[in-house]
Structure 1
Amino acid sequence: MKVLLISNDAGGYAHHVEAPDNTTVQQMFERHVGAFHAESYLIRVNRQPAAADQLLRDGDRVSFTPQKIEGAA
């Protein structure tokens, strides 16, 4: 399946990525961001808050936005 991955971390980017069927939000996060620290990010699928175990579907729009920017007070 193909999803649009949006990362607002550091420089930020958005691009389409291929993922196996039955990929969860957590798996996508770990693959593209690193260790799963959901409490540090706003995680949304199709602009709605998403649970770690939510299954992604073809065409979903997934975004990872850090809650705190490094170096900010």
Structure 2
Amino acid sequence: MYNTQGNQQISGKELSYLSDTFKNEELLAKLCVQGAVNSQSQSLKQTLSHLSQERLQNMSILTNALQQQAGLTH
């Protein structure tokens, strides 16, 4: 799908996929935080905290990409 400026737009199916991906990243971040809080092992706490930060970073990257796409199409 292309807009009048020749830039490719995101289809409804792609938006649905991106929405699911965002929700999954959010859930994984929450689960990692919960696991870190409940863990007795300092090593596991650190690993889960690191993983939660990665998930949050992925969400930020996804949000920025969608904002850029919105800026291109408007």
**Structure 1 or 2: more strand by fraction:** 1
Which gives a bigger RCO, structure 1 or 2 (Cα 8 Å, sep 6+)? 1
**Structure 1 or 2: more helix by fraction:** 2
Scaled by the length of structure 1, the TM-score of the pair is 0.23
Scaled by the length of structure 2, the TM-score of the pair is 0.23
